Amino acid sequence: MCRHLGWLGEPVSVASLVLDPPCGLRVQSYAPRRQKHGLINADGWGVGFFDAGGQERSDPGMGPEVRRWRSASPLWGDVSFASVAPALRSRCVVAAVRSATAGMPIEASASAPFRDGGWLLSHNGIVDRGVLPVSRVAESTVDSAVLAALIFERGLENLGDTIVEVGTADPGARLNILAANGSRLLATTWGDTLSVLRRADGVVLASEPYDDHPDWQDIPDRHLVEVSGDEVSITPLKGPS
């Protein structure tokens, strides 16, 4: 269910992360290599990024501007995005392609990344909405959007605890999260794949490697990942086996 990618580092084009790699998200939308659940990701896509010029805004305390582009159509057929993506540059990107859970609506608002203030968040997986005690209104009725609303409500500093709580309440849930605020990437592995690539100009977190570079490393299941600057920390999530 879905594939996602996060970038933190020097400004790069969105196309270089999402469209150009030989096995990037565009290819993963129709031919993922490591996806365990579902065959294609044709039910929408989304890209969120922090405006590289945002530091020059009149109020420096506001930080970079958050931008999003989401669609309910397959990424492989979006020629408008393909024409603009090379011109979009950012230090921090969250992107995803979607395979909708059975019975869930296919609409742009259901595609990650979801947003709360200065945070962007993607969910790769599935969860029973009945175990999500969220009080705020989600961007969509789909399970991923409701989970995102709960995580935002609890705070990203509590991401690990929230995932363990939800995973305990729904043993069948798959809870791979990827979130960013412009200066940090946070991710969890809970039932699906995630890999990290440390490049000279930054760090990539991705559901699956976008090429065959030997420096890709797989993250073990049930772990929390944090990227800050060029530092990557990986810690276990303690919960039921």
Return the active site residues: 2
Query: How far apart, in whole angstroms, are the C-alpha atoms of residue 118 and residue 238?
Result: 28
Q: How many CB atoms lie within 10 A of CB 115?
A: 19
Q: What is the DSSP letter of 15?
A: H
Residue type, 106: I
Cα angle 209, 186, 223 (rounded to 5 degrees) comes to 75
Strands 89-97, 45-51: pairing kind = antiparallel
Peptide bond into 209 cis (omega under 30): no
Give start and end residues of each alpha helix (H) in 127-200. Answer: 143-154, 159-169
Distance of CA 64 to the CA centre of its chain: 19
Query: How far apart, in whole angstroms, are the C-alpha atoms of residue 30 and residue 73?
Result: 12
